Amino acid sequence: MRLLNTRDLALKEFYTNIPKYVYAILSHTWDKDEDVQDLDISKRDLDAGWKKVIGACSHAKKYGFKWIWIDSCCIDKSSSADLSENLNSMYRFYADAAVCYVYLPDASSAENPRDSKSGFRRSKWFTRGWTLQELIAPSYTVFLDDSWKEIGTRYGLRDAISAITSIPVELFENKDWDVTRYSIAQRMSWAAFRETTRAEDRAYCGHL
């Protein structure tokens, strides 16, 4: 598992299991040109992916986290073996993180997130396939807007999130609630209307 140092933006490979709850993790939706594999410093002021990485690191560092996992730079997509290993480990990565920061550039902390017309309620993040496990797996989740200002926590917004996703609210009320209490058919129904860029991705994003 690779983690990004929030202080100097250096990647480090960890070859042994990392203790739970020592790193932050980012959940987001991808736009074009967001792959920052090379962490090229020269692109820092130009690249949207870079700006997101810097914003996430700054926010995590502010809350005392030295390490963060971000898929756009912590997965070696040139290696099919590394890509497969990371995809199969994704749920565990999110479950073991101390906090999951959900970045919503189409929402605003100035709005009431419970309002049916709010950017939060209409965010693209809730329609994507990969974000299903990223919503369910973490023990603690914070939603952030385009300026990295807090919109709310998963627990605090559990009723609104349940209304958006049709996922039972009790799943968000107890971090130790076991998702396997729900039938496979019910869990698959939560992913039914979510979108993935590639059809084969659905096999991974539905792993709950």
Average confidence score pLDDT of the chain: 88
Q: Mean per-residue pLDDT for 138-152?
A: 97
**pLDDT for position 142:** 99
Displacement of CA 93 from its chain's centroid (Å): 10
Over residues 31-86, the pLDDT tens digits come to 765 556 555 555 555 577 889 999 999 999 999 999 999 999 998 878 888 888 88
**pLDDT for position 180:** 87
Supply φ then ψ for residue 71, to 5 degrees. Answer: -60, -30
User: Coil, strand, or helix at residue 162?
Assistant: helix
User: Coil, strand, or helix at residue 128?
Assistant: strand
- Rounded Cα distance, 136 and 157, in Å: 14
Could you tell me the two tokens for 4?
A: 């990004």
Q: Identify whether the C-beta of residue 18 lies closer than 8 Å to the C-beta of residue 95.
A: no
The DSSP string of 4-44 is EETTT--EEE--SPPPTTSSEEEE----TT---TT--GGGT
* Residue-level length of the chain: 208
Strand boundaries in the chain, DSSP class E: 2-5, 11-13, 24-27, 67-69, 99-103, 141-144, 150-153
**pLDDT for position 47:** 73
Q: What is the DSSP letter of 119?
A: T
Q: What is the DSSP letter of 124?
A: G
- Rounded Cα distance, 9 and 67, in Å: 9
Over residues 108-124, the pLDDT tens digits come to 999 999 999 999 999 99
**pLDDT for position 76:** 82
Q: Mean per-residue pLDDT for 19-37?
A: 82
- Residue from 34, 63, 28 nearest 51 by CA: 34
Residues linked to residue 201 through DSSP beta bridges, in sequence order: none
